[in-house]
């Protein structure tokens, strides 16, 4: 007798074979255009985008992603209108105050990368609190790139190493890729396997330029407020269809 499969076993087999990226980094783009298309102020796009942040964090955790880096606020974003910047700061504070306890209960660890020296005291304090409260957690590492710019990050690392050389603590000949990587904000975090940018734009915008040297890129046409679990899964499916060679030949896509 011939049995007709309902496809569930096939789906299970595909999911078992699928490679979950260890580190996914996301450039969350399109909030302003989402709002503009609906005749709404840009701030409403950011508010809706924060709902997407919550969904994607939880979905990435369920999928077994080890590190999820979100480009939340770049060092160039301070050039935006003061009203919009103020709204974004308020949204960040609201997110931490509202969601920190829940993320902590779900074993999520929060890491913040970016410059903090000139941040307002209340913002710096909240970011530090989020890291301190969750530092012992062993689940998803949620990396928030805030006041972050990759060029500034690299310059900062080079300056730190140059100062060590000047103090006689380090020989210039000892500086290599591993040492520079260990001096970046992302020290101890594996390079992203997959970088997703939403809204259809196809550029890095000063995000993880050193770390993304061998990342796979997926440029989704979906605006960030509309980016859902299915869109995230589709990006991972596309990643799984790639062959990652890391400059060599014939390296299987999932190799670490």
Which residues have CB under 8 Å from 186's CB, separation 6+?
Answer: 113, 143, 208, 211
What is the full per-residue pLDDT of the chain (256 aa) written as tens digits?
333 333 433 333 334 346 899 999 999 999 999 999 999 999 999 999 999 999 999 999 999 999 999 999 999 999 999 999 999 999 999 999 999 999 999 999 999 999 999 899 999 999 999 999 999 999 999 999 999 999 999 999 999 999 999 999 999 999 999 999 999 999 999 999 999 999 999 999 999 999 999 999 999 999 999 999 999 999 999 999 998 776 666 555 544 4
- What residue ranges define each of the domains in the chain, with the CATH number in brackets? 21-148+191-240 (3.40.1180.10)
Got the DSSP string for 90-107? Answer: HHHHHHHHHHHHHHHHTT
> Considering the entire predicted model, what is its pTM?
0.88
Residues with catalytic annotation? 29, 77
Question: Which string of b and e fits 104-123 if b means at least 16 CB within 10 Å?
Answer: bebebbbbbbbeeeebeeeb
What whole-number distance in Å separates Cα of residue 141 and Cα of residue 57?
A: 10
Whole-number pLDDT of residue 243: 81
Task: Report pLDDT for 245.
Answer: 72
Alpha helices, H only, 108-202: 121-134, 150-166, 177-183
């Amino acid at each position: 007798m011939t049995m007709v499969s309902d496809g569930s076993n096939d789906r299970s087999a595909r999911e078992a074979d699928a490679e979950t990226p260890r580190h996914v980094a996301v450039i969350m783009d399109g909030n302003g255009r989402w709002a503009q298309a609906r005749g709404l102020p840009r701030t409403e796009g950011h508010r809706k985008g924060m709902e997407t942040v919550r969904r994607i964090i939880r979905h990435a955790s369920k999928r077994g992603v080890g590190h999820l880096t979100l480009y939340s606020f770049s060092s160039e974003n301070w050039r935006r209108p003061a009203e919009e910047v103020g709204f974004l700061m308020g949204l960040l504070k609201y997110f931490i105050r509202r969601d920190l306890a829940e993320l902590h209960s779900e074993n999520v660890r929060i890491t913040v990368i970016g410059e903090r020296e000139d941040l307002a005291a209340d913002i710096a304090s909240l970011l530090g609190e989020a890291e301190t409260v969750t530092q012992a957690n062993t689940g998803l590492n949620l990396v928030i790139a805030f006041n972050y710019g990759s060029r500034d990050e690299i310059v900062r690392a080079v300056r730190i190493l140059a100062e060590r050389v000047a103090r006689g603590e380090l020989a210039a000949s000892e500086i290599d890729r591993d040492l520079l990587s260990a001096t970046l904000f992302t020290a101890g975090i594996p390079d992203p396997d997959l970088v997703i940018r939403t809204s259809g734009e196809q550029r890095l915008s000063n995000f993880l330029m050193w770390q993304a040297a061998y990342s796979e890129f997926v440029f989704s046409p979906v605006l960030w407020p509309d980016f859902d679990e299915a869109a995230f899964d589709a990006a991972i499916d596309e990643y799984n269809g790639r062959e990652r060679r890391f400059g060599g030949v014939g390296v299987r896509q999932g190799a670490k």
